[in-house]
Amino acid sequence: MVNWESILKEAGEQVQGVSDRYSGKETGREAQGQGAGGDITMRVDAEAEKSIMELVKGQVDDVRFVTEEAGVDGEADAEWTVVIDPIDGSMNWARGLPFYCTSIAVLDGPTLQEARFGLVRNLITEETYFAERGRGAERDGKPIRTSKQRKLQDACVGIDMSKAPRYAIERLVPLIAAVRKPAHFGANALEQAFLADGKVDAFVDIRERMRVVDFAAGYLIATEAGAVMSDPAGGPVNTKVSLEEKFNVVASCNLTIQESILKLLNPSPRARS
């Protein structure tokens, strides 16, 4: 039997070493070409991803990878699919902004809801968030749960507006005005982990830009900690595992906050007039 918890935690430690080795150095920011996700791949991204893939390949035979940099590697009918964003928040890393992580998920099926294991490691604090489907979520071995916040006006909500189209910004204005603290830190996987840990109360991304590599591990960790997730219309978030699929997500600490956010994103015709 594959010990995915051990493999993922070791992978997180390896990425920590790569990140620390290049931190603050121009060599780490050297462009290595364009990654499969469409962004420029820095040396730190490439080496971090390579370290994860080599570790997994050395211990697991029937595996397929879907990654931010290398793209898809392996057979479509493999038993396991490993979804990797080696440095989520790579722009923060490049600029020296202290908010970035590594994100690794393991799935036993072709869609997001079949995420089986997930790890997000905060590469600043070295905290490790981990979840296994049906067994809850943890931070450094200690169980975590989402916050108990029930009032949107007192909530801290992560709102990703990076490269958002104007219509999405306009749709977000009532939510931004309603919450106590709107924020975005620049690494969506780590923000999902913070949602799981009760550090933020919700997360909203309606840019139609979210990808499974940014989201799979954080999705499992947050939902195992009690988070409620949907698309902006209230439907399920269950994207296929590919680099082409892009989607929207609303994630909250509980159903009360989720319903409050969805109501602001979808005002009634009377409320809009």
SS3 84: strand
204, 261 Cβ separation under 8 angstroms: yes
Split at pLDDT 50, 70, 90, the class of 273 is very low
CA distances from 58 to 19, 52, 55 (A): 22, 10, 5
pLDDT of residue 272: 45
pLDDT tens-digit readout, 110-165: 999 999 999 999 999 999 999 999 999 999 999 999 999 999 999 999 999 999 99
Give me the domains of the chain, ranges plus CATH numbers.
4-143 (3.30.540.10), 152-272 (3.40.190.80)
pLDDT tens-digit readout, 173-217: 999 999 999 999 999 999 999 999 999 999 999 999 999 999 999
The pair of structure tokens assigned to 127 is: 């905290």
User: pTM for this structure?
Assistant: 0.95
In terms of C-beta distances under 8 Å and separation of at least 24 residues, what long-range contacts does 165-172 make, across chains too?
165/207, 165/208, 168/206, 168/207, 168/208, 171/206, 171/265, 172/204, 172/206, 172/265
pLDDT tens-digit readout, 57-101: 999 999 999 998 889 999 999 999 999 999 999 999 999 999 999
pLDDT tens-digit readout, 163-176: 999 999 999 999 99
